[in-house]
Amino acid sequence: MYPAIDLSKVIGLTDDEKALAQGIVNPKTGCLRASKPTVKRTCTGRIGEYGYEVIETTGGDTAYIWRMVAFFTSGNRQHQCMPCTADFDLNGNTAERMARAKYLDTIVDKIVDSIPKNEWHGVRRWACAFGY
Protein backbone atom coordinates (compact mmCIF):
# COMPACT_ATOMS: atom_id res chain seq x y z
CA MET A 1 0.00 0.00 0.00
CA TYR A 2 2.89 2.37 0.75
CA PRO A 3 5.89 2.48 -1.58
CA ALA A 4 9.40 1.69 -0.39
CA ILE A 5 11.60 4.78 -0.36
CA ASP A 6 15.40 4.63 -0.13
CA LEU A 7 16.52 8.26 0.11
CA SER A 8 20.16 7.24 -0.38
CA LYS A 9 19.26 6.11 -3.92
CA VAL A 10 17.24 9.18 -4.93
CA ILE A 11 19.11 10.86 -7.77
CA GLY A 12 20.08 14.49 -7.26
CA LEU A 13 19.00 14.74 -3.62
CA THR A 14 21.42 16.88 -1.59
CA ASP A 15 22.22 16.20 2.07
CA ASP A 16 20.01 19.13 3.15
CA GLU A 17 17.14 17.81 1.03
CA LYS A 18 17.62 14.32 2.48
CA ALA A 19 17.41 15.80 5.97
CA LEU A 20 14.09 17.45 5.10
CA ALA A 21 12.73 14.26 3.54
CA GLN A 22 13.97 11.80 6.19
CA GLY A 23 10.76 12.12 8.20
CA ILE A 24 8.53 10.81 5.39
CA VAL A 25 9.96 7.29 5.68
CA ASN A 26 8.86 4.80 8.34
CA PRO A 27 12.20 3.63 9.82
CA LYS A 28 10.81 0.17 10.67
CA THR A 29 9.57 -0.66 7.17
CA GLY A 30 11.51 1.66 4.86
CA CYS A 31 8.21 2.67 3.27
CA LEU A 32 6.27 5.91 3.13
CA ARG A 33 4.79 6.77 6.52
CA ALA A 34 1.09 6.06 6.96
CA SER A 35 0.41 9.51 8.41
CA LYS A 36 1.71 13.06 8.21
CA PRO A 37 4.79 13.85 10.29
CA THR A 38 4.23 16.01 13.36
CA VAL A 39 4.16 19.76 12.87
CA LYS A 40 4.82 21.91 15.93
CA ARG A 41 3.24 25.37 16.03
CA THR A 42 4.40 28.15 18.34
CA CYS A 43 3.21 31.72 18.69
CA THR A 44 6.05 34.21 18.26
CA GLY A 45 4.30 37.01 20.11
CA ARG A 46 4.54 39.23 17.03
CA ILE A 47 1.61 40.69 15.16
CA GLY A 48 1.62 40.13 11.40
CA GLU A 49 0.65 42.45 8.57
CA TYR A 50 -3.09 41.72 8.94
CA GLY A 51 -3.21 42.07 12.73
CA TYR A 52 -3.00 38.35 13.54
CA GLU A 53 -0.46 36.70 15.80
CA VAL A 54 2.46 35.20 13.89
CA ILE A 55 2.68 31.42 14.22
CA GLU A 56 5.96 29.67 13.40
CA THR A 57 5.93 26.00 12.48
CA THR A 58 8.60 23.36 12.89
CA GLY A 59 8.45 20.30 10.66
CA GLY A 60 6.21 21.91 8.06
CA ASP A 61 8.64 21.29 5.20
CA THR A 62 8.73 17.56 5.92
CA ALA A 63 4.95 17.45 6.30
CA TYR A 64 4.56 19.16 2.90
CA ILE A 65 6.94 16.69 1.23
CA TRP A 66 5.10 13.75 2.81
CA ARG A 67 1.70 15.08 1.73
CA MET A 68 2.71 15.51 -1.88
CA VAL A 69 4.56 12.17 -2.14
CA ALA A 70 1.56 10.46 -0.52
CA PHE A 71 -0.79 12.15 -3.00
CA PHE A 72 1.15 10.76 -5.97
CA THR A 73 2.11 7.32 -4.69
CA SER A 74 0.11 6.12 -1.68
CA GLY A 75 -2.32 3.27 -2.13
CA ASN A 76 -4.50 4.73 0.63
CA ARG A 77 -7.43 6.42 -1.14
CA GLN A 78 -7.67 9.09 1.57
CA HIS A 79 -4.19 10.30 0.60
CA GLN A 80 -5.29 10.70 -3.02
CA CYS A 81 -7.54 13.70 -2.34
CA MET A 82 -6.35 17.02 -3.76
CA PRO A 83 -3.74 18.49 -1.39
CA CYS A 84 -5.10 22.06 -1.58
CA THR A 85 -4.00 22.97 1.93
CA ALA A 86 -0.61 21.21 1.98
CA ASP A 87 1.24 24.54 2.18
CA PHE A 88 -0.61 25.62 5.34
CA ASP A 89 2.11 23.96 7.45
CA LEU A 90 4.81 26.17 5.90
CA ASN A 91 6.01 29.41 7.48
CA GLY A 92 5.36 32.86 6.03
CA ASN A 93 2.66 34.73 4.19
CA THR A 94 0.98 33.32 1.11
CA ALA A 95 3.70 34.43 -1.33
CA GLU A 96 6.47 33.06 0.91
CA ARG A 97 4.64 29.75 1.37
CA MET A 98 4.10 29.42 -2.38
CA ALA A 99 7.79 30.08 -3.07
CA ARG A 100 8.81 27.52 -0.45
CA ALA A 101 6.33 24.99 -1.84
CA LYS A 102 7.83 25.46 -5.31
CA TYR A 103 11.27 24.58 -3.93
CA LEU A 104 9.89 21.61 -1.96
CA ASP A 105 8.14 20.37 -5.12
CA THR A 106 11.58 19.81 -6.66
CA ILE A 107 12.39 17.47 -3.77
CA VAL A 108 9.02 15.73 -4.16
CA ASP A 109 9.67 15.23 -7.87
CA LYS A 110 13.06 13.62 -7.19
CA ILE A 111 11.54 11.24 -4.64
CA VAL A 112 8.52 10.31 -6.76
CA ASP A 113 10.75 9.75 -9.80
CA SER A 114 12.73 7.21 -7.76
CA ILE A 115 9.60 5.15 -7.08
CA PRO A 116 8.59 2.64 -9.80
CA LYS A 117 5.67 3.92 -11.87
CA ASN A 118 3.59 0.85 -11.06
CA GLU A 119 3.49 2.21 -7.47
CA TRP A 120 2.15 5.65 -8.45
CA HIS A 121 -1.33 4.80 -7.16
CA GLY A 122 -2.57 8.39 -6.85
CA VAL A 123 -1.36 9.29 -10.34
CA ARG A 124 -3.16 6.28 -11.80
CA ARG A 125 -6.36 7.11 -9.95
CA TRP A 126 -6.40 10.72 -11.17
CA ALA A 127 -5.49 9.61 -14.72
CA CYS A 128 -8.59 7.41 -14.71
CA ALA A 129 -10.68 10.29 -13.38
CA PHE A 130 -9.58 12.44 -16.31
CA GLY A 131 -10.08 9.64 -18.83
CA TYR A 132 -6.43 8.88 -19.65
Instruction: Give pLDDT tens digits for 84-109.
Output: 999 999 998 889 999 999 999 999 99
Q: Determine the average pLDDT of the residues in 8-34.
A: 96
Q: What's the pLDDT at 107?
A: 98
- Comparing CA positions, the residue from 97, 98, 101 lying closest to residue 71 is 101
Of the pLDDT bands very low, low, confident and very high (cuts 50, 70, 90), residue 65 is very high
For residue 43, the 8-state DSSP code is E
Q: What's the pLDDT at 76?
A: 93
Q: What percent of the chain has pLDDT over 70?
A: 96
Encode 73-91: b = buried (16+ Cβ within 10 Å), e = exposed: bbbeeebbeeeeebbebbe
pTM of structure? 0.89
Count the neighbouring beta carbons within 10 Å of the beta carbon of residue 95.
8
pLDDT over 90 (residue 56) = no
- 13 vs 9, 22, 37, 84, 116, CA distance in Å? 9, 11, 20, 25, 17
CA dist., res. 93 & res. 37, Å (int): 22
β-partners of residue 31 are 4
Residue type, 131: G
